[in-house]
Amino acid sequence: MRDDIDVLVHEVGTRDGLQAIDTIFSTEGKMAWIKREAEAGVPQIQVGSFVPPKLLPQMADSGEIVKQSIQIPGLTVSALAPNLKGAENGMAAGAHQIGVVMSVSEAHNMSNVRRTTQDSLDDFARIVEFRDTHPEYKDVCLSGGMATAFGCTISGAVPLPEVMRVAEGLLERGADRLSVADTVGYANPGQVKELFDELYRTVGSDIAIGAHFHDTRGLGLANAFAALEAGVRELDSSLGGLGGCPYAPGASGNIVTEDLVFMLESMGMRTGVDLDGLLEAREIMERQLKDEPVHGTFAKAGLPLGFKYASAA
């Protein structure tokens, strides 16, 4: 991580948010959002997903979006890929980081991609092998994503040892980074601390670990704080909390980027992000929405009197 920030805020609204809503943003519209948010100082943005356009038409221009985004100075560009084919396309477009997500819950993985987690781990190994046999991609960071790590809408509770098993499986197969996701908004802060404490004990503190929380039941930022307490220093979030949960109509999606940045900077943790710039990016995003709600309270309340950015302290 850059030495001028303490926590890496990873914007995922341009992927997780956009794929969850009906409105399809134009390539220009996405780029206006990405550029303004990068300009505000957000260090990493997940700009797309290399899935078949038939499945997610919102993501059909991901190749073009990656190509344009990597021109933005200083921005780390990440993208999701569900399989080797997607990962190849993402690397070919020039993404700096490819996230490959599998569900810790067997039932969820089976329902989502019709594969066992073991099969998904083997797929991950093939992606690593592809990267390692193509010197032009040697700098691509391969992130192993663990969905439903805090619970599953099909099987309920997900035992901690299963999360550890998948984490170790990903690292054994060459993952450069882990991402732990509360895909369905089941996590609570006590559980979050317990999981990350156990994860650091299991895999050591050298590996970069990110956390991905949804605010489905209002605990998103409490969970983020709990993750920070456990030592996590990379957090996914979505501008205006764009997105949602298909199981909870009207419920919010990822934790809200601007609320998260406000929390971090208030706590003295440098993010490199300017909140005014973030609100401008939010407006650029919001203008392109049709009926989709945006979330978050910082945008309404603004900065407290006497607020100081952590980097200015």
Which one among 121, 242, 263, 279 touches a copy of itself, defined by CB under 8 A? 263
Report which residue type is found at 261.
Answer: V
Q: Is 74 in the site for a copy of itself (CB under 8 A)?
A: no
Applying CB under 8 A, which part among 82-90, 131-139, 141-149, 257-265 lies near a copy of itself? 257-265
Minimal distance in Å, beta carbon 235 to a copy of itself?
Answer: 12
The answer to whether 152 is a known catalytic residue is no
Q: Which is nearer to a copy of itself, 269 or 289 (CB)?
A: 269
Taking contact as CB under 8 A, which single stretch among the options 12-20, 61-69, 134-142, 297-305 is the one that binds a copy of itself?
A: 297-305
Per the residue annotation, which of 18, 146, 245, 299 is the catalytic one?
A: 245
| Cα–Cα distance, 258 to 275 (Å, whole number) | 7
Among residues 218, 221, 254, the alpha carbon closest in space to that of 236 is found at 254
CA distances from 14 to 44, 66, 130, 149, 236 (A): 11, 11, 26, 22, 11
CA distance 50 to 206: 29
Rounded Cα distance between 105 and 146, Å, is 9
Nearer to a copy of itself, 12 or 221 (CB): 221
151 is an interface residue for a copy of itself by CB under 8 A? yes
Q: Which two tokens stand for residue 197?
A: 């404490």
Q: What share of the chain is helix, strand, coil (3-state, %, to 5)?
A: 45, 15, 40
Cα(269)–Cα(258) distance, integer angstroms: 14
Residue 243: helix, strand or coil by DSSP? coil
| Binding status of residue 221 toward a copy of itself by CB under 8 A | yes
Q: Does 159 bind a copy of itself (CB under 8 A)?
A: no
Query: Which tokens sit at 174?
Result: 């060459």
71: Cβ contacts below 8 Å, ≥ 6 apart: none
Q: Interface with a copy of itself includes 276 (CB under 8 A)?
A: no
Cβ contact 65:78 at 8 Å? no
List 93, 245, 285, 294, residue binding a copy of itself (CB under 8 A): 245
154 binds a copy of itself (CB under 8 A): yes
Please state, in angstroms and rounded to a whole number, the distance separating the CA atoms of residues 172 and 175: 7
Distance between CA atoms of 9 and 19, rounded to whole angstroms? 20
Taking the C-alpha atoms of residue 255 and residue 273, their distance in angstroms, rounded to an integer, is 16
Q: Which is nearer to a copy of itself, 74 or 307 (CB)?
A: 307
Site string for a copy of itself, 179-218 (x = CB under 8 A): -----xxx-xxxx-----------------------xxxx
Q: Does 104 bind a copy of itself (CB under 8 A)?
A: no
165 binds a copy of itself (CB under 8 A): no
* 304 interacts with a copy of itself by CB under 8 A: yes
Scanning the structure block, which residue is given the tokens 């396309």? 89
250 binds a copy of itself (CB under 8 A): yes
User: Which of these ranges, 49-57, 79-87, 140-148, 219-227, lies near a copy of itself under the rule CB under 8 A?
Assistant: 219-227
Residue type, 34: I
| Minimum gap (Å) between residue 244 Cβ and a copy of itself | 10
What are the residue numbers of the active site? 245
Residues that bind a copy of itself (CB under 8 A): 151-157, 184-186, 188-191, 215-219, 221-222, 224-226, 229, 245, 247-252, 256, 259, 262-263, 266-268, 296-298, 300-302, 304-306
